[in-house]
């Protein structure tokens, strides 16, 4: 068994991040407290109730869930594919949903199907009304664009909402309304510190107006500071005029930069709302008596003069009970539900069953997961997985099946070496693009999700097989055009067939590990700091070459690339400019033979290059070799994606009712 619990409690954090059913963001409460009593759980009416783990084993159904180009795909076939591709990824999410269900049952909480469906339909109607103007057909059309059906969406939401409402009901047991929420609602309804202020204001905007472009940060800050000082001086002058007998209302109507309030003589529409204002401004207004005009205060794009024109105070104790009762009736909020789910996850041991590590899922009674040692079989997990994600991944299944059929018809077979090479390529790409090239970071992500390299590799194998099959199908009917040959020639040998040859001196350094949430600019600065000693050394070597020393001799002595160093800096097999990134091509551009580049950074290595010669290669002399090379070169990611789209353009598939049963 593979355990997904540990002293670091990594499981629940991953689970909470992956629970698509929105346990923490649900809307109205199904199980509101009975008779308005805090901490009670309302009893649900007796009705049919679906369970995630009914502990009754059945074999996978042969009923078709899909029609692909007229071919029926049985429920068991599709579920087996999902178990193989997504089983370990979603096993812990399923296990937590079951743990919530069991905890609810132990607490005597029952939420029947009719109640769950009522919530689902109500939430759908909210979306239909808000997004589609009440046009349900428009919403259904949106589902169809994403290969979803109305019934399939409802089936998925029934799972999500049931889990959400079970967690909500658990959070409502012995619930005590937090004091912070009573205070929060008091201030939301009656103003900051229970104070409703009627205010009048006059604004002087602090806007950066300049005809210059390309201002530095320092220049911009200086200009903003100058404008702020100017606005403050203007407001102090207006404040003096008010002290001399003029009114803020008159001056605001004539001079305020805030168009909305200026039309009302500076009067705000409704009580002052602190949202969006600096705390210091809010605090200053709360302490300002009715009548006097404030000193200039910051907020909302400028500086303001304020006058409090009315003040009403509602003590917390005078409304505490009604606020408390409203919160009781509203039921637990998302953070309270979160606390319950986190506590449940912390106290639950979840293990992934060995069955998910196998390619044969025929024994549906085998354990998919163990929750505190109690097994939930593959039958229940496979059904949940199908209802939760089946429609979403059905097109991918159909596309992969079509690729497999086309490859079989073409007599294409895979070798183990090809599959393993693709898995390695996929792994390297994930580490490079998703984790800054740091494999340890990737391993940590796997560990936090309760997975291992072995489990990831099992899932990656299926994807690799499909990728290699698609590449072979693409190559099978490959036709290389003359333009493709010309483009490759120009890219490799230069637009006129003239390419640069160079030799190099390499210096590698240890790349610093990127810190969590570290800005890219800061990280790049640390890379440059780490590279500085080698950079300075290469600059010195470049000066020595310019003074007449032999580049080859220096390469043999100082280069850390052993193969080229042994050849005096010459790259074994010849220097291929196309194998280097654009920064190297730019550095070499325009140099004459014998001239050297500045140090060039490529990943964790600094290079010093010397141009040795320019070589002319005619198109005719290499055209056939380039054509032969193109015929066996795998497609780029973009080309392969376009090929797969074309291959499946006329794919016919239909989601059948058994998908959502």
What pLDDT band is residue 4 in, cutting at 50, 70 and 90?
very low
99, burial (CB in 10 Å: exposed 0-12, middle 13-18, buried 19+): buried
20: three-class secondary structure by DSSP = coil
Q: Give yes or no for residue 36 having a pLDDT over 70.
A: no
State the Cα–Cα distance between residues 127 and 135, nearest whole angstrom: 10
The architecture (CATH level 2) of 498-616 comes to Roll (3.10)
351 strand-pairing partners: 3, 370
pLDDT tens sequence across 416-434 = 999 999 999 999 999 888 8
CB 368 within 8 A of CB 87: yes
Distance separating alpha carbons of residues 209 and 206, to the nearest angstrom: 9
Of 78-92, 386-400, 428-442, which has the strongest mean pLDDT? 386-400
Tokens of 120: 């689902």
Count CB-CB contacts under 10 A for residue 13. Answer: 14
User: How far is C-alpha 287 from the chain's CA centre?
Assistant: 44
483-522 pLDDT, tens digit per residue, is 999 998 988 888 888 888 999 999 999 988 888 778 888 8
Q: Which residues partner with 596 through β-bridges?
A: 610
Q: What is the model's pLDDT at position 359? A: 67
Domain locations along the chain: 182-319, 498-616
pLDDT of residue 132: 95
CATH topology for 182-319 is Chitinase A; domain 3 (3.10.50)
Which positions ≥6 away from 437 have C-beta within 8 Å?
431, 511, 603
Structure tokens at 193: 């510190």
Whether the domain at 182-319 and the domain at 498-616 fall into the same CATH topology: yes
Q: Is pLDDT above 60 for 35?
A: no
Q: How far apart are CA 177 and CA 556, in angstroms?
A: 75
Q: At 419, which helix (H) or strand (E)?
A: helix 416-434
**Model confidence over 265-292: pLDDT tens digits?**
999 999 999 988 999 999 999 999 999 9
Cα separation of 375 and 396, whole Å? Answer: 30
CB 480 within 8 A of CB 488: no
């Amino acid at each position: 068994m593979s355990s997904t619990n540990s002293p670091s409690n990594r499981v629940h954090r991953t689970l909470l991040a992956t629970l698509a059913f929105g346990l923490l963001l649900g809307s109205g409460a199904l199980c509101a407290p009975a008779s308005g009593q805090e901490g009670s759980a309302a009893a649900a009416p007796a009705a049919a109730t679906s369970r995630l783990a009914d502990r009754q084993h059945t074999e996978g159904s042969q009923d078709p869930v899909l029609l692909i180009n007229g071919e029926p795909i049985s429920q068991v076939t599709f579920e087996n594919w999902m178990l193989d591709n997504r089983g370990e990824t979603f096993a812990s999410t399923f296990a937590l949903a079951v743990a919530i269900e069991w905890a609810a049952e132990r607490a005597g909480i029952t939420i029947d199907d009719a109640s769950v469906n009522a919530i689902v339909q109500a939430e759908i109607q909210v979306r239909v009304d808000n997004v589609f103007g009440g046009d349900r057909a428009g919403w259904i059309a949106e589902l169809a664009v994403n290969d979803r059906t109305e019934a399939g969406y409802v089936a998925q939401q029934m799972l999500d909402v049931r889990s959400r409402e079970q967690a909500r009901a658990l959070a409502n047991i012995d619930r005590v309304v937090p004091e912070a929420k009573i205070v929060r609602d008091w201030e939301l309804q009656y103003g900051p510190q229970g104070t409703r202020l009627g205010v009048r204001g006059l604004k002087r905007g602090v806007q950066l107006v300049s005809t210059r472009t390309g201002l530095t940060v320092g220049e911009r800050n200086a200009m903003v500071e100058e404008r702020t000082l100017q606005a403050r001086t203007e407001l102090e002058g207006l404040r003096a005029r008010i002290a001399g007998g003029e009114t803020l209302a008159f001056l605001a109507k004539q001079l305020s930069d805030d168009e909305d309030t200026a039309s009302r003589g500076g009067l705000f529409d409704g009580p002052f709302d602190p949202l969006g204002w600096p705390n210091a401004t809010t605090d200053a207004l709360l302490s300002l008596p009715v009548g006097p005009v404030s000193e200039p205060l910051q907020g909302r794009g400028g500086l303001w003069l304020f006058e409090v024109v009315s003040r009403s105070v509602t003590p917390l104790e005078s409304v505490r009970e009604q606020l408390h009762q409203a919160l009781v009736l509203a039921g637990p909020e998302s953070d309270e539900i979160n606390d319950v789910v986190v506590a449940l996850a912390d106290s639950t041991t979840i293990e992934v069953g060995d069955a998910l590590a196998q390619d044969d899922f025929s024994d549906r009674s085998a354990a998919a997961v163990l929750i505190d040692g109690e097994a939930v079989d593959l039958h229940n997990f496979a059904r949940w997985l199908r209802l939760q994600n089946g429609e979403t991944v059905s097109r991918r299944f159909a596309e992969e099946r079509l690729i497999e059929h086309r490859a079989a018809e073409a007599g294409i077979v895979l070798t183990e070496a090809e599959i393993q090479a693709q898995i390695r390529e996929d792994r390297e790409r994930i580490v490079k693009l998703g984790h800054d090239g740091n494999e340890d970071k990737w391993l940590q992500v796997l560990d936090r999700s309760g997975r291992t390299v072995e489990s990831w590799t099992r899932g990656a194998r299926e994807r690799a097989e499909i990728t290699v099959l698609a590449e072979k199908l693409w190559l099978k009917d490959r036709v290389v055009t003359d333009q493709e040959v010309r483009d490759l020639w120009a890219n490799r040998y230069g637009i006129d067939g003239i390419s640069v040859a160079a030799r190099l001196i390499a210096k590698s350094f240890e790349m610093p590990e990127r810190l969590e949430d570290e800005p890219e600019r800061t990280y790049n600065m640390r890379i440059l700091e780490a590279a500085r000693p080698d950079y300075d050394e290469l600059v010195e070597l470049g000066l020595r070459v310019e003074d007449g020393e032999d580049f080859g001799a220096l390469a043999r002595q100082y280069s850390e690339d052993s193969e080229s160093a042994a050849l005096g800096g010459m790259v074994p097999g010849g220097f291929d400019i196309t194998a280097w990134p654009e920064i190297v091509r730019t550095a070499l551009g325009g140099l004459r033979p014998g001239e050297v580049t500045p140090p060039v950074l490529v990943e964790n290595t600094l290079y010093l290059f010397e141009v040795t010669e320019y070589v002319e290669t005619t198109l005719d002399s290499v055209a056939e070799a380039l054509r032969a090379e193109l015929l066996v070169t795998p497609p780029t990611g973009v080309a392969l994606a376009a090929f797969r789209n074309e291959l499946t353009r006329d794919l016919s598939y239909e989601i059948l009712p058994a998908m959502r049963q």
